[in-house]
Amino acid sequence: MQSYFELLNRIRDHLRRDSSVVTQRLNVPPPDVIIIGNRTFWRNFNAVADALRRDPKHMIMIIAKELGTAMTIDDEGKVVIFGRKDSASVKNALNYYIKLYVTCPVCGSPDTKLVKEKKITFILCEACGAKSPVA
């Protein structure tokens, strides 16, 4: 027999999980970039990485390649893109990343994790349970 309080806690946990999923779906902010000289500073990169629940280093690697340039994290934790990239280009590169490494190819949910097995990266979907190799 479960006590009333245990039940209540379980319901509360459940609600919290559900609401966090909804927030994540809505909370991927568009890239906030500013160009200074020959560099582009991506000011809200960490918020984007948090919302997507992805490793910033992995994101940087893929997005830099897509932008055809190099990216780095400076001493203050700010993400710097070498060269002048407007917010539309950065957004395109981010969308490419989301499409390939965040969105479940089976059900389209962004509630996924990346797992690596024997050098192959898979998208593990928390919504439908599918495990799909990354293209």
| Residue 134 sits in the site that holds Zn ion (CB under 5 A) | no
d(CA 94, CA 98): 6
For residue 53, give every residue at least 6 positions away whose Cβ sits within 8 Å of its Cβ, in sequence order, or none.
Answer: 24, 113
Closest approach of Zn ion to the CB of residue 102, in Å: 11
Q: How far is the CB of 126 from Zn ion (least distance, A)?
A: 8
Q: Count CB-CB contacts under 10 A for residue 32.
A: 14
Cβ distance 79 to 71 under 8 Å? yes
Q: Does 34 bind Zn ion (CB under 5 A)?
A: no
Binding mask 47-86 for Zn ion (x = CB under 5 A): ----------------------------------------
User: Residues 85-114: x/- map of binding to Zn ion (CB under 5 A)?
Assistant: -------------------x-xx-x-----
Say if residues 40 and 33 touch (Cβ distance below 8 Å): yes
- Which among 41, 123, 111, 36 is positioned nearest to 79, based on CA atoms? 41
Asked if residue 21 binds Zn ion (CB under 5 A), the reply is: no
Residues within the interface to Zn ion (CB under 5 A): 104, 106-107, 109, 125, 127-128, 130
